[in-house]
């Protein structure tokens, strides 16, 4: 049996169904926040976040209002996470090979 048959994937379009503060926090988990952020976004550049990121509690409402501040896609399985498009890392995360 193919291991991928037992995988449930939940797809979410942030533009159509905005994230809640709790969901944003769950996306970050206990991981460092910087890799989750879209460094090409105008807000990121204007606020010079490459130099200093704001506190998480300040970031959350900004991400809810402008979900494109998050890089996508984000795949999380337990404590493991893959950010951005990387087909090989997806496969490793989802089926463990």
Q: For the segment 4-57, what is each residue's pLDDT rounded down to a tens digit? A: 456 677 788 888 899 999 999 988 888 899 999 999 999 999 999 999 999 999
Predicted pLDDT at 1: 31
**What pLDDT shows up at residue 5?**
53
The string of pLDDT tens digits covering residues 46-87 is 999 999 999 999 999 999 999 999 998 888 888 888 999 899
What does pTM read for this prediction? Answer: 0.80
Name, in order, each residue with C-beta under 8 angstroms of 35's C-beta and a sequence gap of 6 or more: 71, 83
**What residue spans define the domains of the chain?**
17-95
Per-residue model confidence (pLDDT) at position 50: 96
Q: Can you identify the CATH homologous superfamily of domain 17-95? A: Glutaredoxin (3.40.30.10)
């Amino acid at each position: 049996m193919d291991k991928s048959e037992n995988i449930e994937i939940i797809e979410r379009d942030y533009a159509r169904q905005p994230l809640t503060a709790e969901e944003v926090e769950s996306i970050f988990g206990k991981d460092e926040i910087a890799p989750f952020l879209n460094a090409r976004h105008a807000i990121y550049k204007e606020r010079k976040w490459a130099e200093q990121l704001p506190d998480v509690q300040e970031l959350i409402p900004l991400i809810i209002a402008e979900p494109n501040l998050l890089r996508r896609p984000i795949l999380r399985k337990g404590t493991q996470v893959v950010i951005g498009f990387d087909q090989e890392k997806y496969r490793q995360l989802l089926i463990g090979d």
